[in-house]
Amino acid sequence: MSRAPALVPELAVRDLAASLRFWCGLCGFAVLYDRPEEGFVCLEGEGGARVMLDQLGLGRDWVTGPLERPLGRGINLEFAVTALATRLAALDRAAWPLFLGPEEKTYRVGAAEVTVRQFLVQDPDGYLLRFSERLPDGG
């Protein structure tokens, strides 16, 4: 097991099996460890990115307000990847809709600029995920 990142979001989900099909089957994550009796799993993606999924109604639920789809309103989780093509192909084969199709976007980062190719997709509970591939300098 690699060293844990400083921040690992935990997302409440309604159907852990459906979430695993999406996160692992379509988005390239793998189960790092799980606690099936609690409906909990920790996933790891490219570059050591981690996210925890916790099925509502099993174990403890830390719910601070009404849970209405889409969950996670107002936040998108960005995952840096080396290539978008495999994820895009898997989502396309599954006929999974994209929230925002692939685009190239240049962002100012301090005094420099960084150009990425990115797309956004919602998971089964509506969490907004942004997969971002940094392009070589010059776009």
The number of beta carbons lying within 10 Å of the beta carbon of residue 139 is 10
Domains and CATH numbers, the chain: 10-58+73-134 (3.10.180.10)
Give pLDDT < 70 ranges for the chain. 1-2, 138-139
Distance between CA atoms of residues 88 and 83, nearest Å: 10
For position 138, what pLDDT does the model report?
56
Q: What is the pLDDT of residues 93-123, one digit of tens each?
A: 999 999 999 999 999 989 999 999 999 999 9
Return the bridge partners of 134, or none. Answer: 116
126: left (phi > 0), else alpha (psi -120 to 50), else beta? Answer: left
For position 12, what pLDDT does the model report?
95
